[in-house]
Structure 1
Amino acid sequence: MIVDRTDEELRYALPCKWGLVDEDVLPAWVAESDYAWAPPIAAALADAVARGLTGYPPFDEGGELGEAYAGFAARQYGHRLEPAHVIPTSDVTAGVRLALDVLSEPGPVVMPIPGYPPQLSIASITGRERVDLVVDPDAERAEIDLDRLDRLFADGARTLLLTQPHNPWGRVFTTAELEGIRDVVLRHGARVVSDEIHAPLVLEGAPPHVPYLSLDGTADHAVAVVAASKAFNVQGLKCAQLVATDPAANRALRDVPMARNDSWSPLGVVAGVAAYTECDEWLGALRVRLSEQRDLLVGLLAEHLPDARMRPLEATYLAWLDLRAYGHDDPAEVVLERGRVRLSAGHDYQEGLPGHARLNIATSPDRLTEIVRRMAKVLVA
C-alpha cells in the first residue's frame, strides 16, 4: 500500500525537501515522507479541485473536521472527544503560538531540548523568555527531568511546551512519565501545550501514544495541537487542529480575532477528513514500512558506521544520530559537501551541540541504504 515515488516525482511534489538540493544530493532532512498519498486522500482532493473548492473554509464549530478527528482519536488512542473540542488552525507551529498567546501567562516557557527548530523561537515571538530543559546527550534514555522541571517552574516558568512523541528524540512518553509531568505542572499552577503532530507514527515495539489530555486532571491546564500532515504527508495543505477540552479555554481560542488564528485551507480540511476517516489501513501499512526502515537503519549503522549512536526510534520517521565518534563538530555539513547527502544539523536543535544530526528514514530501502553508504564513505577514516 505504501508507494515509493520516483526522484523526478519527488522534485515536483516536495519542492522544499527535494527541490532545495542539487540533483546529485540525496535529501534526508526536512520532515516530509517520500511516499505517495493514500488513495482516499488523492481521490478526495482530486474531486474537490475538480468541483472548484478554493473558497474560504467553513468556520462552524466542530463540523466535519471535528467529527473526523474525534473518531480518529477514539479509534487510534482510545481518547474520547467531542467534535466541538477541535479547533482548526493553519499548522501546528501556528497553533502552538496561538495557545501561548491566548492561554499562557507572561512567564517563561520551558522547552526540552534538543527540540524542533521552529519552536525554539516561539517563546520570544510571543514576548516570553525561553528556558531550556536540556537532555544529556550521553543519557541512556531521553527523558524529561522532573526535578529540573520543578525547579524551572519554581523559578517562574509558566508553560511547558511538550512535544510527544518527541522530535528529534524519537521518544513515546509512557503514561507514568506523563502523569509525572502533570503532577509537577499542577503543583505550580502552570500550563502545558502538547504538540502531538507525530502521534499517529508510533512504531512497532514501542508503547502506545497517550494523549496528554486523556489523563485525569489535565483539561483545565492543557491544550494539544495535532494534524494529519506528518503521517499523511499533506503539510502544504495547511490545516492543523487545536484540541481544547476545557470549556473556557475552548471558547477563548474560538473567540480570538480572525487575524490572530491564521486561516486554514479548505483543501486541508478535505485531506484531513479523508485521512481521519478512510485511511486507517493505509496508516497501519505506513507504520509497518517505517518500522522496517528503522530496523534497516539499525543494521546499516552497525555495518557501516559502528561507532554511531542512535537513540531508540519509537515514533516518527526521524532518527537522532550521535556521530561524535567520527570527529566532526558538524557531520551534516561534512556529509553534504563530501557525500552528497543532506541531513539536518544537530546544532539547529540545540545551539552548540557538536557531532549530532537528524536523519529522515521515510524513503525507499534503496535510498536509505545509499544514504548510509555515502555517510560512511566520508565519515569513516
Structure 2
Amino acid sequence: RTAGRTRWSLTRESQECSDEINGILNETMSVSGQLLVKLFGREDREYERYRAANEKMINLNIRESMAGKWFMVILNTTSSVGPMLLYLAGGILMMRYNSDITVGDITVLVGLLGQMYRPVNQLLNIQVDWIRSMAMFTRIFEYYDMPAEIQNAPDAVIPESTDGSVTFDHVEFYYEPDRQILKDVSFRLKSGDCIAIVGPSGSGKSTMINLIPRLYDAVSGTITFGGIDVKKLDLHFLRDHVGIVSQETYLFNGTIRDNLLYARSDATEQELIEACKKANIYDFISSQEKGLDTMVGNRGLKLSGGEKQRISIARVLLKDPALLIFDEATSALDSISEQKIQEAIEPLIQSRTSILIAHRLSTILAADEILVVSGGVIVERGSHAKLVKAGGVYTELYNTQFSKATAADPDHSDYRVENHIYPGDEY
C-alpha cells in the first residue's frame, strides 16, 4: 500500500511536469512563438527553461521506477526461497529418515510451486501497473468531471427558421463579482438592420457579442434571438444561425477549400466560388496555380492578413447565418486590405441582419444605428451625424481619429467631415 501511494503521487507529479513540457514546446515551437523568441533573443532562456523542466521529468521518472523496488525484492526473494526450502526438506528426509521421497518427487513439487508463484507475481505486478495508470488518468477524469457551464435546456426549442433579430434586455455580465463587464445593457436589433458597436478597448464590445451564441451566459437580464430567449434555444441551432468574423482569423493547416468546407461540408464548387466572390477574395484565389486547392500553411502562414480575413468572411458566408457579426474585422490591416474588406462587408450588411464592432469609424457609417459603449455601459446611441454633434464619447473618438487629418490638410477638413471622408479613404 505504501508503494502504491508513493507511485500514485510520483505519477501525478510526472504528468503535471509532462504537461509543463508540452506547454513550453507548444509556445516556443509554434510559428508565432519561434518568431517572438528570435526577435527578443531569448533562445538561451527558453532552452534553459526546457532543460530544467526536462531534468525534473527525468528525476521523477527515475523515482517512480525505484518506488516499491523493496517490495519486489522481497517478493522475488520469497519466490526463490520456496524451492530452496523444498530441496532442503526433501534432502533431509531422504538422507536422515530414509523416506520414500525421490529426487523426481522433489523436482515435481518445485515445478508445481513455480507454477503457483507465477500467477501470484503477475497479479501483484498488475496492481502496480493499475495504480500507475489510474494516477495518469486522474487528471483526465478531473477534466471530464468538470460540469459544463453552458448546457442545453432539457426542453430546448428548435424553430423551423429565424429572422436573426436580437434583443438585449437589462443584461449584466461579469467574470468575477467585483469586476463587472456589462451593466444594464439594453438594445434591439431588428431583422434586416445593422447595428454598429464602438467604444474604447476593454469597454465590453466583444463580450456583448459573445453572449449571443452563448459562449458565456449573462448573469442577469434576457437576450433573445429571433424572439426566443437564447437559453431556451437549442445550442446547435443557435450557433448554426450566428456567424462571427473575429479579429484573430484562424485557418487550419490545409487548402483554402478545406477551410471553406469547414463551414459546410456539402457545399458545391459553385457555392464556394460565389462565397469567395462576395468576400472579394475570388480574384486572388483564381490567380493561384492550384486555385481553391492552394495550401494556406499553419494558421494561414502563407497568406497575408487581409487574404486570411477575406477567406474567413467567405467561410462564414458559406454557413449562411441569419445574423452576421464582424468583430474588429479590419483593425489589424493596412488601408488597402481594409478597403477590400470594406467592399466585401458593405453589400452584406445591406442584405443581412448584422452587427459591426469597430475602432475605425470609417467602417460603421452604413449602420442603421450606432451604440457607443464605455465601461460596460451604452452611453450613447444614434446616427453618425447625431453622435458627432452630441459632444460625448463618440465625438471624442471622432476627433481623435481625424485631428491629424484635419491638421495636415486644414483647407479640406470641412469637406472631409461633411462628406464622411476618412484618413486613408482617398487612397
**For this structure pair, what is the TM-score category when the shorter chain's length is used for normalisation?**
under 0.3
Output the TM-score relative to the length of structure 2: 0.25
Structure having the higher helix fraction is 2
Output the TM-score relative to the length of structure 1: 0.28
Bigger RCO (CA 8 Å, 6+ sep): 1
